[in-house]
């Protein structure tokens, strides 16, 4: 009696267990389509990675855990555990049911599917992004499991999932037609997204080749990195670009994400002009670039699990810093920074949502999975607006600079014309004075009889005319000895001053020095920027040299072309070298602006000094300075050299 009771109890327990499990089975009919299998899913973690399929089959039902029903999919975050999943399907019709099971997370490493049909052998399908793409039973960016349920039959499906990425298992059951329709809709959305990014890349690449602004190159690399990151994350790259390279498919996600941070940092530094507006923060920006470069290299050396957490954290930090600097520039009045900040806000929100999703803080759904795509698309468009706004500002500044240069040129030409007119008037005044003098002499010869009475009047008139003539001659001489372009003394005045000061130094036994100054690479400067800009450069250098000659008797003159000469009376070698170094430094410090760009101007200087003797020649004196100048050029330019005059040839000639 007891034996019968125990047997009956055991059968009853088995029936209850079978009934309990049958409640978890999904009843498949002709109308079954797009079913989220999470409510029918059970899972079992395998921390030791030791459980085989046979052991899993024999595991007690009480060991399995029921998946939560209030979520759309399972998400265990980043974990080293292997997870087993199982669910049951029951065909309730008299016809075969053709279905597809989709695991909609493309970066799972290993997905081993065991399909157990009643009275049939168990079928094993090996999926995952650690296996070549074309080994999949269905060519699809997600993992598709084809399943045929015979009439009135049931099947139990086991999944063994192992991954270094986030352990997410969104799983759905589809009809073939519905899966095709859903895939087409997804590919349309991805096509629009990648098409937009491609258009932005090509457009801004053409702009870069046109204007040669590094901003556009960094922007193109940044957008390309974002596009490749999302194509890798969505499985598009694995399907179409590298279907057999499983290692690179895994590492490409973190590699392109780190490239996004790297090129975003370079773009931010250049676009917001951090080196000019924030010199102290520029070192921090450089540090961000260097760290991003090391992280990018590290993605090729270290495993995915380690680097994805590092890259996501670093991306959030980098974006936060970029937004902070951009906000400051926006408040400071930079209109381009407005677009920049808004664009980064959109991308930051999408990035934070993606990070929270991967770490299982928020559930996985269409919005959380595509938030970064939406944010990045808006960001790319807004950054393109920001670049266009910056380009318009630069064009306006260049146009205003050109107008200013043309106005300065017009004023200079008017001043030159006025000077020529004054010279012409002076000559006329001189001719008139000479004519008056001649008339006075004729009147004196004709009026000898009245000479005594007219002497005082005549002398007075002669003094007036002579004074006018002296003023006219003085003006004429001033114009004759002034260089019309630079406003300093010309070669003619320099020659007279050299003879005068050399003779005085010879007579008084005092030193005299001369500096010959030549602007470095001036012909190349003229060919690059034009003669008008070259003339502005000559005037700027002449004014700078004049400011370095501090004494009244020092002579600054244009020696010819781009050469200048400074004559220093009562100056020995030490003093001359000191003045030459001051001149060289002052020219190097000139901030010469050409079309909004700072152009550095340097000069080579030759120095000569001596106490001339009776037999010394001024030409040898100047030749020594010229030789020293050529030494400066030969030694690399932008420097000062000294050479003593060689008067031995004159001495030998005199002795002979």
pLDDT of residue 528: 87
Pick the CATH number of 20-174 from 1.10.760.10, 3.30.420.10, 2.60.40.2380, 3.20.20.70: 2.60.40.2380
Residues 99-114, mean pLDDT to the nearest whole number: 89
pLDDT digits (tens, 9 = 90+) for 234-282: 888 888 888 888 888 888 888 988 898 888 888 777 777 777 777 777 7
User: Residues 390, 271: contact at Cβ < 8 Å?
Assistant: yes
Q: Which residue has the higher pLDDT, 363 or 114?
A: 114
DSSP string, 369-403: HHHHHHHHHHHHHHHHHHHHHHHHHHHHHHHHHHH
DSSP string, 146-203: EEEEPTT-EEEEEEEEE-SSEEEE-EEEE-HHHHHHHHHHHHHHHHHHHHHHHHHHHH
Question: What is d(CA 317, CA 308) in angstroms, rounded to the nearest whole number?
Answer: 14
pLDDT of residue 591: 83
Q: Are strands 35-36 and 110-117 parallel, antiparallel or unpaired?
A: unpaired
pLDDT digits (tens, 9 = 90+) for 553-562: 889 999 888 8
Whole-number Cα distances in Å, 538 to 348, 464, 514, 586: 52, 41, 20, 14
> What CATH class has 488-655?
alpha beta
| pLDDT higher than 90, residue 584 | yes
How does 566-596 read in b/e, with b if 16+ C-beta sit within 10 Å? bbbbbbeeeebbebbebbbeebeebebebee
| pLDDT higher than 80, residue 468 | no
| pLDDT higher than 80, residue 650 | no
Query: Considering Cα of 535, then 525, then 516, then 640, what sign does the dihedral take?
Result: positive
Tokens 């490409």 identify what position? 252
pLDDT of residue 434: 84
Residues 576-594, mean pLDDT to the nearest whole number: 90
| pLDDT higher than 80, residue 426 | yes
How does 304-327 read in b/e, with b if 16+ C-beta sit within 10 Å? beebbeebbebbeebbebbbebbb
- Cite the residue boundaries of each domain of the chain with CATH code 3.30.70.270: 488-655
| pLDDT higher than 70, residue 380 | no
CATH code of domain 187-394: 1.20.1070
- pTM score over 0.75: no
Residues 16-34, mean pLDDT to the nearest whole number: 63
- Cite the residue boundaries of each domain of the chain with CATH code 2.60.40.2380: 20-174
pLDDT digits (tens, 9 = 90+) for 483-535: 888 888 888 898 998 999 999 999 999 999 999 999 999 998 888 888 888 88
pLDDT digits (tens, 9 = 90+) for 597-641: 888 899 999 999 999 988 888 889 999 999 999 999 999 999 999
pLDDT of residue 377: 67
- Cite the residue boundaries of each domain of the chain with CATH code 1.20.1070: 187-394
| pLDDT higher than 50, residue 23 | no
Q: Is 644 helix (H, G, I), strand (E, B) or coil?
A: coil
pLDDT digits (tens, 9 = 90+) for 281-336: 777 778 888 888 888 888 888 887 788 888 888 887 877 787 777 777 777 776 66
Q: Which residue has the higher pLDDT, 653 or 583?
A: 583
Question: What is d(CA 395, CA 210) in angstroms, rounded to the nearest whole number?
Answer: 14
pLDDT digits (tens, 9 = 90+) for 124-155: 898 988 889 888 888 888 899 998 888 888 88
pLDDT band at 475 (very low <50, low <70, confident <90, very high): low
């Amino acid at each position: 009696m007891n034996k019968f009771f125990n047997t009956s109890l055991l059968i009853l327990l088995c029936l209850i267990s079978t009934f309990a499990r049958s409640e978890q089975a999904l009843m498949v009919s002709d109308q079954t389509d797009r079913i989220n299998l999470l409510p029918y899913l059970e899972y079992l973690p395998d921390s030791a990675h030791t459980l085989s399929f046979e052991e899993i089959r024999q595991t007690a039902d009480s060991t399995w855990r029921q998946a939560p029903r209030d979520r759309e999919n399972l998400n265990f975050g980043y974990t080293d555990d292997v997870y087993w999943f199982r669910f049951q399907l029951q065909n309730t019709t008299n016809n075969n049911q053709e279905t597809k099971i989709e695991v909609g997370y493309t970066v799972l490493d290993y997905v081993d599917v065991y399909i157990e049909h009643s009275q049939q052998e168990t079928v094993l399908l090996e999926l995952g992004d650690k296996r070549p793409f074309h080994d999949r039973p269905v060519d699809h960016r997600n993992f598709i499991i084809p399943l045929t349920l015979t009439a009135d039959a049931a099947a139990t499906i086991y999944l063994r999932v192992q991954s270094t990425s986030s352990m997410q298992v969104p799983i759905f059951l589809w009809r073939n037609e519905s899966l095709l329709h859903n895939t087409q809709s997804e590919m349309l959305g991805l096509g629009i997204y990648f098409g937009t990014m491609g258009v932005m890349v090509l457009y801004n690449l053409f702009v870069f080749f046109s204007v040669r602004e590094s901003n556009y190159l960094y922007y193109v690399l940044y957008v390309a990195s974002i596009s490749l990151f999302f194509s890798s994350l969505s499985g598009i790259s694995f399907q179409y670009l590298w279907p057999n390279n499983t290692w690179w498919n895994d590492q490409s996600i973190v590699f392109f994400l780190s490239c996004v941070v790297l090129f975003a940092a370079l773009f931010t530094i250049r676009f917001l002009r951090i080196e000019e507006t924030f010199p102290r923060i520029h070192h921090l920006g450089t540090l961000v670039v260097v760290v991003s470069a090391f992280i990018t290299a590290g993605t090729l050396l270290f495993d995915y699990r380690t680097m994805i957490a590092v890259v996501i954290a670093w991306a959030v930090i980098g974006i936060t810093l970029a937004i902070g600097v951009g906000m400051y520039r926006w408040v400071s009045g930079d209109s381009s920074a407005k677009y920049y900040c808004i664009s980064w806000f959109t991308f930051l929100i999408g990035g934070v949502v993606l990070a929270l999703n991967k770490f299982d803080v928020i559930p996985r759904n269409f919005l959380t999975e595509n938030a970064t795509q939406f944010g990045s698309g808006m960001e790319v468009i807004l950054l393109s607006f920001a670049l266009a706004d910056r380009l318009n500002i630069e064009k306006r500044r260049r146009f205003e600079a050109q107008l200013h240069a043309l106005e300065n040129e017009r004023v200079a030409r008017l001043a030159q014309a006025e000077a020529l007119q004054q010279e012409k008037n002076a000559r006329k005044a001189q001719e008139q004075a000479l004519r008056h003098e001649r008339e006075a002499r004729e009147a004196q010869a004709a009026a000898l009889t009245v000479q005594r009475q007219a002497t005082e009047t005549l002398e007075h008139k002669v003094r007036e005319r002579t004074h006018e003539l002296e003023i006219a001659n003085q003006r004429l001489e001033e114009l004759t000895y002034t260089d019309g372009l630079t406003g300093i003394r010309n070669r003619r005045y320099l020659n007279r001053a050299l003879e005068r000061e050399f003779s005085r130094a010879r007579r008084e036994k005092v030193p005299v020095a001369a500096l010959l100054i030549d602007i470095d690479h001036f012909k190349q400067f003229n060919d690059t920027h034009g003669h008008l800009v070259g003339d502005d450069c000559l005037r700027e250098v002449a004014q700078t040299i004049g400011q370095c000659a501090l004494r009244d008797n020092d002579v600054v003159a244009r020696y010819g072309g781009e050469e200048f000469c400074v004559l220093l009376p009562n100056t020995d070698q030490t003093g001359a070298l000191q003045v030459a170094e001051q001149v060289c430094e002052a020219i190097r410090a000139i901030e010469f602006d050409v079309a909004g760009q700072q152009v550095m101007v340097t000069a080579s200087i030759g120095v000569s000094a001596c106490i001339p003797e009776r037999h010394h020649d001024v030409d040898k004196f100047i030749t020594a300075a010229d030789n020293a100048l050529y030494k400066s050029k030969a030694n690399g330019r932008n420097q000062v050299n000294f050479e003593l005059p060689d008067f031995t040839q004159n001495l030998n000639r005199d002795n002979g």
